[in-house]
A and B are shown apart, each in its own frame.
Chain A
Amino acid sequence: MIGAKDIKTKICLGEIRSVDTVKDHFKRIKKTDPKVKAFLRLSEENALNQAEQIDNKDRKNAKCGLLEGVPIAIKDNIMVKGEGMTSASKYLEHYISTYDATVIEKLKEAGAIFIGRTNMDEFAMGGSTESSAYQKTANPWNIEYIPGGSSGGSAAAVSAGMVPFALGSDTGGSIRQPAGFCGIVGYKPSYGLISRYGVCALASSFDQVGTFSKTVVDSALLTSVIAGKDYRDPVCEPKEGIDYVRDIDNPNILKTLRVGIPKQLLDYKTDAEITKYFNDATNKLKLEGVEIIEIDIPAYRYVPALYKVIMCAEVSANIATFDGIRYGYRSPNGRSLNDEYAKSRAESLGYEVKKRILFGTYVLGAKNYHRCYHQAQKVRTLLINQITAAYKKCDFIFTPATLQMPVKFGDILPEECDLFLIAANLAGLPGITVPCSFTSSCMPMGVHFMGSRFSDAKLFQVANAFEKISEFDTDKYPIL
Chain B
Amino acid sequence: MLKEELEVTAFMARLDIKEEEKEKYLADINVMFDYIEILQEPGVASLKPTTHVTELRNVWRDDVVKPRAKDTIDQMLNGSPAREGTFYKVQKVIEAQ
Contacts and interface: CB of A to CB of B under 8 A. Distances in A.
A305 B25 contact: no
Contacts of B34: 305
B9 A361 contact: yes
A98 B79 contact: yes
A345 B42 contact: no
Given A96-B79, A365-B9, A304 B35 contact: yes
Interface in B45-69: 45, 47-54, 56, 59, 61
B35 A308 contact: yes
Contacts of A306: 39
A231 B61 CA distance: 8
B38 to A, nearest CB: 4
Interface stretch (A6-14, A56-64, A260-268, A351-359): A351-359
Interface string A383-405: 01100000000000000000000
Contact of B15 (A340, A345, A381, A427): A345
Nearest to B83: A326
- Chain B, interface size: which category? 35 or more
Nearest to B1: A362
A178 interface: no
A191 B52 CA distance: 9
A142 to B, nearest CB: 29
A436 interface: no
Contact of A346 (B12, B17, B61, B80): B17
B42 A358 contact: no
B76 to A, nearest CB: 6
Contacts of B61: 231
B1 A379 contact: no
B14 A325 contact: no
Contacts of B79: 95-96, 98, 326-328
Contacts of B96: none
Contacts of A304: 35
Contacts of B81: 324-325, 327-330
A136 B88 CA distance: 35
Interface stretch (A165-173, A285-293, A370-378): A370-378
A363 B13 contact: no
A355 B51 contact: no
A360 B55 CA distance: 26
B13 A361 contact: yes
Contacts of B49: 374, 377-378, 380-381
Given A98-B75, A309-B35, A371-B40, A355 B59 contact: no
A205 to B, nearest CB: 5
In the complex, which of the residues B13, B40, B56 has the most CB atoms of chain A within 10 Å of its own CB atom? B13
Contacts of B76: 98, 326
A239 to B, nearest CB: 12
Interface string A293-328: 000000101101110110010001000100111111
Contacts of A299: 42
Nearest to B82: A330
Contacts of A453: 53
A358 B13 contact: yes
Given A358-B25, A379-B39, 16 more contacts: A96-B79, A234-B56, A235-B54, A309-B36, A336-B91, A345-B13, A346-B17, A355-B28, A355-B29, A358-B9, A358-B15, A375-B40, A381-B48, A381-B49, A382-B44, A384-B50
Interface of A: 95-96, 98, 191-192, 205, 231, 234-235, 237, 299, 301-302, 304-306, 308-309, 312, 316, 320, 323-330, 334, 336-343, 345-347, 349, 354-355, 357-359, 361-363, 365, 371-372, 374-382, 384-385, 427-428, 453
> Top 10 closest A-B pairs, CB basis?
A428-B53, A377-B49, A330-B81, A305-B35, A346-B16, A234-B59, A327-B79, A342-B16, A378-B44, A341-B14
25 contacts: A96-B75, A98-B72, A98-B76, A191-B52, A192-B53, A205-B52, A234-B56, A235-B54, A237-B56, A312-B32, A320-B13, A326-B76, A326-B88, A328-B79, A342-B10, A345-B16, A358-B6, A358-B10, A371-B40, A375-B36, A377-B51, A378-B44, A378-B49, A379-B44, A381-B44
